Amino acid sequence: MTEAVHNIALSPDGSAVRIIDQTLLPGQLRYLDLREREELFEAIASLRVRGAPAIGIFAAYGVYVLARTYGPEEFFPRLEADCAYLISCRPTAVNLARQVERMRTLALSMSGAPIPQIVEALGREAAAIHREDIAMCRAIAEAGLSLLYPGDTVLTHCNAGPLATSEYGTGLGPLLLAAERGIDIRAYVDETRPLLQGARLTAWELMRAGIDCTLICDNMASLAMREGRIQAVLAGCDRMAANGDAANKIGTSGAAIIAKHYGVPVYILLPSSTIDMTCATGADIPIEVRAGEEIRSLWYEKPMAPEGVKCWNPAFDVTDHGLIAAIVTERGVIRPPYDVHLRELFG
């Protein structure tokens, strides 16, 4: 494997969360140190940091960094306010709320302890969340690779590599692990409109790892499958319902429908922290709708749509569990019926 991408860490003095600004990739690899609550919020909202697991790790470190600045008498009121503020940033990815709530619950459980002791415990908890994700991503990569064969070519959508998680990633984990072991697995990379996470991020990660990848527009996937160029679809997930419905970057559902038509298996790879067993089906998952400028003008030198045209820009769609051949978590490969097997493992 190529040099690891460390997209989230604490600054050496622990006073800031250090991230790669993903909005500048692939043209510029730039690190940011973020300390203020508004900076943390903006980084999530503007996708400087993105990917459900990565957002959860980032927010956990953010809670710790903010907690270091609270006075003793204001500690818990500010903690509650800042946790709620961070959670409100993006509604679809469950990891954000889950990891912030984990940090908040720990602090509240220590309410009788000295404040420095609580802050120290928050730092350890954030680091533990990060370590857990690294271990989960490695296990997911191992399980996902078991579904592929040497010489396979897979379709990717959006970005589910180290930038979106930690180290191996989820949806890209099997590819990176295969490259590390000298196994020839190639990729067609959906550009992933309108934010181009595939073109900007996935292609960048795969090329760094020396993996043979070909960039295509999202609407070229159907022809690629018809011509037999693709043997599997690998995708990550931002929130999975208890029945196996998977919310992921907009366009994932369309790719899965096409794959079903051509008999190409769709594999959804995710850590258990992304499974929301309180959410019965995909219909219960809130879908974030983002600004229309991402369609009209972002990534263009000049606007490429008529001025004033209305836009609808949902950031995610839901892939029905019936379109998914297998779900891959750190506990292995899960086959249908998902409502039964997910509850057995995570209920």
User: Any idea which residues carry the catalytic annotation?
Assistant: 238
Nearest to 42 by CA among 58, 26, 60: 58
User: Measured on CA atoms in the order 245, 230, 135, 94, is the torsion positive or negative?
Assistant: negative
List the beta bridge partners of residue 275: 240
Cα–Cα distance for residue pair 41/345, rounded to 1 Å:
33
Let me know: does 181 contact 155? Beta carbons within 8 Å. no
Cα–Cα distance for residue pair 81/65, rounded to 1 Å:
14
For 136-161, letters b (16+ CB in 10 Å) and e give bbbbbbbbbbebbeeebbbbbbbbbb
Please give the backbone phi and psi of residue 206, each rounded to the nearest 5 degrees, phi first. Answer: -65, -40
Name 105's Cβ contacts closer than 8 Å, sequence gap at least 6.
Answer: none
Cα–Cα distance for residue pair 53/15, rounded to 1 Å:
22
Please give the backbone phi and psi of residue 190, each rounded to the nearest 5 degrees, phi first. Answer: -60, 135
Give the up-direction half-sphere exposure of residue 51: CA atoms within 13 A in the CB hemisphere. 37
List the beta bridge partners of residue 17: 10, 34
Burial of 39 (0-12, 13-18, 19+ CB in 10 A): middle
Please give the backbone phi and psi of residue 329, each rounded to the nearest 5 degrees, phi first. Answer: -125, 180
Which amino acid type is present at position 161? G
